[in-house]
Amino acid sequence: MKTLEQIQKIENVILYVLQKFDDGVDYIKLFKIIYFAQRDYLCRFGKTLIPETFKARMHGPIPTLTDKVIKNVEDGVGDDFPDLKEFMESIKVIDQKVYALREPNLDFIAKKEREYLDKWFDYCKDRKSYDLSEESHDDVYHNVVARSKKDPQQDIMTNIDIAMSGHASDKMIEYIREKELLVAELA
């Protein structure tokens, strides 16, 4: 499970994107904005924009915690997840569209992170969600799907997978790998 600080970061990033859609946004488009921003940021800086885990699903990579929160809100489930209560109360879901119920706390989102979110919002806002899904179905995505068919627990797109999808340089991928190995050693 994520820490409270990680959950708050994810919540505020999601609210930041949602506030830009007056009439709500469907899940796929929301997920694509987050994924493309994450991929781009990871390729540029070697670190994640949002502490989300992405899984390879039918419509492409999905942010797992955000997906869980949206599904729980849609299903009216909440008491079983006290750590997610605030996040679940910050959005509403109507007819498979997500709406922000409050403004994001920008203390959780650095200026550079907002620039990347804005860039991908601008790119995705007028595109059809299913077209955006196709854009996320690259070779790396298909490799993760193939890997998960052999072992269903291997459906997670690692940060290295995401960086490779974004055509990060070999040097950047090695940097990400070294950081991940260090984190694993310290855990």
For residues 157 and 31, what is the distance between their CA atoms, to the nearest angstrom?
14
For residues 124 and 110, what is the distance between their CA atoms, to the nearest angstrom?
21
Q: How confident is residue 76, by pLDDT bands cut at 50, 70 and 90?
A: confident
Query: Can you give the pLDDT at residue 187?
Result: 77
The 10s digit of each residue's pLDDT in 114-161 is 999 999 999 999 999 989 989 999 999 999 999 999 999 999 999 999
Mean pLDDT, the chain, as a whole number? 95
The stretch 38-45 carries a mean pLDDT of 98
The 10s digit of each residue's pLDDT in 56-74 is 998 899 999 999 999 999 9
Query: Can you give the pLDDT at residue 175?
Result: 97
Query: Can you give the pLDDT at residue 16?
Result: 98
Reference 28, options 109, 127, 162; nearest CA is 127
Contact 73, 91 (CB under 8 A): yes
For residues 155 and 31, what is the distance between their CA atoms, to the nearest angstrom?
16
Which run of H or of E encompasses 100? strand 97-100
Query: Can you give the pLDDT at residue 81?
Result: 85
Torsions phi, psi of 65, nearest 5? -65, -45
Residue 183 or residue 46, greater confidence? 46
Residue 84 has pLDDT above 80, yes or no: yes
Residue with tokens 């269903």: 152
The stretch 84-97 carries a mean pLDDT of 95
pTM of the model: 0.95
Query: Can you give the pLDDT at residue 176?
Result: 97
Query: Can you give the pLDDT at residue 68?
Result: 95
Residue 177 has pLDDT above 90, yes or no: yes
Cβ neighbors of 166 (< 8 A, separation 6 or more) are 39, 40, 42, 43
